[in-house]
Chain A
Amino acid sequence: MDSNRRVSPIFLQVKGMKDIKGIFVLASLFLLFISAGAFSAQEIAIKAGTILPISDAPVENGIILIKDGKIAALGPNVAIGADARVIDAGGKFVMPGMIDAQSRLFVIEGELNDSSSIAPELNILDGLDPFVKEAPEVAAQGVTAVYISPGSHSLIGGSSAVLKLNGSMDIGEMLLKGDIAVKAAIGVSANNESSSLGRLSDYSSIRESLLETKIYVHNREKQAREMAEYNKKRAEYDKKKKANPAEKADKPKRPARFRPNPTREVLAKVLSKEIPFQIEAHRVTDILNALRLADEFGFTLILDKCTEGYLVAGEIARRKVTVILGPVSTSFIDMPSLEYRNHDIRNAAILSDKGVKLALGVSGRDGASSKFVALAAAMAVASGMDRDLALRAVTLTPAEILGVADRIGSLQAGKEADIVIISGHPLDTLSRVEMVLIEGKTVFERKDQQ
């Protein structure tokens, strides 16, 4: 479609020239466009040393076939078409693009949210700066998608999104999926002071909003029932009137109009489990309060940060609540605030040993930190987390928790071809990312040999 638009002015020009040479130029241009179109739809075959599909066992000396930006086939014996572009990654590791599930990339410093506000109707997409310089550095470390949620200081801060680091400067083109979850925070202090009363008030404010939403939904449904009833009666009334205009009948009374409230509508989606509720909680009391809210209102809970989760790992595991955990090490944050007082580097290992489904986020002090997601996984391994689960925690598990596993997170036929080629195992700190593909397009290729 695009090529048609570009061809037409040239075509007009050529028509004006009306000579053989011009037609020749047109023909060659046309051929060029055809071949360019063919190139973008060209098959790509990656010959890998070791494929780590994450969803399945590693495949040695396998081939990944990419067609139209998607993985068409994967395995030890895949037929490669004659005109396919072959990427030789012999001796190298190939894995799905990593996801930082706690990224601050594209977030404008200090504009995350208001203190103590309840604003579920806000959308993180409206507050992002797509022109940040660090995005290519992050992609160059094999991170192909970032999950960005509103900050910690709002009680309810709005909805979050997953973006792809495909090099675009257009949020719309980067967007993989919006409205992933509604973000809330309990017990996170803005001024690094903390009181039990403050925590209690956070908890009860959020609970109150949910209760009000419950009442709102109840009223909306009641009004809808009444309206249906009215419509039925009105139809009967109209029918009667039409048949016998002289007959006396009571005209049914129309119920009062219902005023939709956008704020409540967002939380209504949380209550109907359409969108998960992501609650940032650090300390044990806050984590338990988040669990209690989920018990009471029955929403899908994602626990965010979960700093002291290791102290109540059993409680979290029993409820099958998913966790986005981070930072793995306080080395990722500048000035560890009060919430991190009992931070323990073994948190991820302990929770995952208890069977909690968890994703690892970098949760770094700024956007550039997202490039260290593989290092975060390595640090979790150092403190006892299973290697395979740690790798899954930065690929498939976040994709599953965030509801985008149908598109990204593992190397499987049908998924988008977001692929990383690395010189060694991804958990080997000194491995180097050689190439990064997003939907089959190369977004990074290592040039220096150093």
Chain B
Amino acid sequence: MKKRRFLAFLVVLSSCFSLASSGGEQQVLAIRAGKIWTVTDGVIAGGVIVVNNGKIQTVSQNAEIPEGAKILDMPQMNVMPGMIDAHCHIGLSLDIFGEMDETVAAVAADMQILDAFNPQAEDVKKALGSGVTTIMLAPGYKNPVGGQPAVVKLDTSKADEWVLKRTAGVEFSLMNQALMFDREPTSRAGLVELLREELNQGKAYKAEEFNPRRELLKRVVDANLPAYIWAHTVDEIASAMAIVDEYKLNAVLVAAGQGDEIADMIAKRNLPVIYSPLLLSSKDKDLKRAGRIANSGVKLAFASLAPKTDLCDLRTSAILAAKYGLDKETALKSLTINAAEILGVADRLGSISEGKDADLVILNGEPLQLTSSVEMVLINGNIVYQRQGE
């Protein structure tokens, strides 16, 4: 068994070297794997993925391998789409005590978080190793209006190509942590009022004026740009829904820890939820919440919030949720296609389908097993991570 694994490893290794030597140019690559988890089209046992020019050309049980294609032959391996971390703070050179919020101004809508991103950071490599290929890079939750999150791919080798969305939306926070004693607002009511004020200003914005901040908020009020609203407790979520109803926002709930308690109300409004990480110390009651939210018909994705929590491994959250009642298929979707849809990048990412980017994760077991480890990660058909030999 071990010997066979080692042989498979050698095959993989040698093919990697040949890939590397060809410089990853317009290559045709064929991946033959034990199980392909397409996410949108079931599981293909013993299938082949043909990658051409960084895109998935075909995926099927008996796809013809084009002549001259490089072949990754991995009959023991499982392939799944690159995972999407729907909210995290990696690459911001933060330690666990670091700040990612403007703590003086309450409104920081102009702030583009991408300006602070270092793609070479150690935690970016760690995320890649855990199978995350795309992230929503987000500011924190301490500003009522917190700035602009970005959607980026973690292969930054080709300039310009890795930023999918520089301004993916505007972040709002109704969390208790957005209240500070030394700046306004200092109360919950004041916090909600400040949000209204900002949105009203956006609403009243005329194109003749030049005011980028108000223009941005106008896009939010016009529902052209999504509002990512941090809310954790039931009352915070209720406030968020009141604002969403009032301004008819295109909104996404972030964190939503207690969302299961009002899951029906969230589902009625078609609000997707980016759920905070499930921790390996949580009580059973809390571990069951994510499953309850999804079972009420809410579209669910997961956030690692790394490095604020040390849970770089996004997959662990989905596995824990599945262990505590989340449907297995939905758990897999929450890591991939659901996150892609919520972030508006599902035309390119989130499933192994023809025409999508070849962002693939190769595991030595099933995706929802903690015993499986990530062996290799590809972005746009290029190998960007490979597990070190034992």
Could you tell me which A residues sit within 8 Å of B by CB distance? Answer: 134, 137, 140, 329-336, 346, 349, 353, 362, 364-366, 368-369, 372, 375, 378-379, 381-384, 387, 427-430, 450
Contact = CB atoms under 8 A, between A and B. Distances in A.
B320 to A, nearest CB: 8
Contact of A365 (B281, B369, B370, B390): B281
Interface in B260-288: 279-284
Contacts of B309: 334
Given A331-B280, A333-B310, A375-B280, A349 B390 contact: yes
Given A330-B310, A375-B370, A382-B372, 20 more contacts: A137-B283, A331-B313, A332-B281, A336-B96, A362-B280, A364-B280, A372-B280, A378-B371, A379-B370, A379-B371, A382-B370, A383-B373, A428-B369, A428-B371, A429-B319, A429-B322, A429-B369, A429-B371, A430-B368, A450-B325
B310 A430 contact: no
Contacts, number: 72
Interface string B84-117: 0000000000001000000000000000000000
Interface of B: 96, 279-284, 309-313, 316, 319, 322-323, 325, 328, 365, 368-373, 390
Contacts of B283: 134, 137, 368
Contacts of B365: 382
A408 to B, nearest CB: 24
Contacts of A375: 280, 370
29 contacts: A134-B283, A137-B283, A329-B280, A329-B313, A331-B279, A331-B280, A331-B312, A331-B313, A331-B316, A334-B281, A334-B309, A335-B310, A349-B390, A364-B280, A364-B281, A369-B280, A372-B280, A378-B369, A379-B371, A383-B373, A427-B371, A428-B371, A429-B319, A429-B322, A429-B323, A429-B368, A430-B319, A430-B323, A430-B328
Given A331-B311, A429-B319, A366 B281 contact: yes
Contacts of A329: 280, 313
A428 B319 CA distance: 11
A402 B82 CA distance: 43
Contacts of A428: 369, 371
Contacts of B279: 331
A450 to B, nearest CB: 5
Contacts of A137: 283-284
Contacts of B372: 382
Closest 8 CB pairs of A and B: A378-B370, A382-B373, A381-B371, A369-B281, A429-B370, A384-B390, A378-B371, A365-B281
Nearest to A336: B310
Nearest to B331: A430
A230 B373 CA distance: 71
A364 B281 CA distance: 7
Contacts of B325: 450
A137 B309 CA distance: 23
Residue from B310, B311, B365 whose CB has the most chain A CB atoms within 10 Å: B310
A interface majority secondary structure = loop
Nearest to A140: B284
Nearest to A330: B310
A140 B313 CA distance: 25
Contacts of B312: 331
Contacts of B322: 429-430
Given A382-B373, A430-B322, A332 B368 contact: no
Contacts of B281: 332, 334, 364-366, 368-369
Identify the interface centre among A134, A334, A379, A430: most chain B CB within 10 Å of its CB.
A430
Nearest to B291: A450
A140 B287 CA distance: 14
A74 B210 CA distance: 82
A346 B390 contact: yes
A332 B280 contact: yes
Nearest to A428: B369
Contacts of B280: 329, 331-332, 362, 364, 369, 372, 375
B373 A331 contact: no
Contacts of A335: 96, 310
Contacts of A349: 390
B30 to A, nearest CB: 27
A379 B328 CA distance: 19
A378 B284 CA distance: 19
A364 B279 CA distance: 10
Nearest to B324: A450
Nearest to A374: B370
Of listed B319, B322, B370, residue having the most chain A CB within 10 A: B370
A137 B283 CA distance: 8
Contacts of A364: 280-281
Nearest to B295: A450
Residue with the highest number of chain B CB atoms closer than 10 Å, among A134, A331, A379: A331
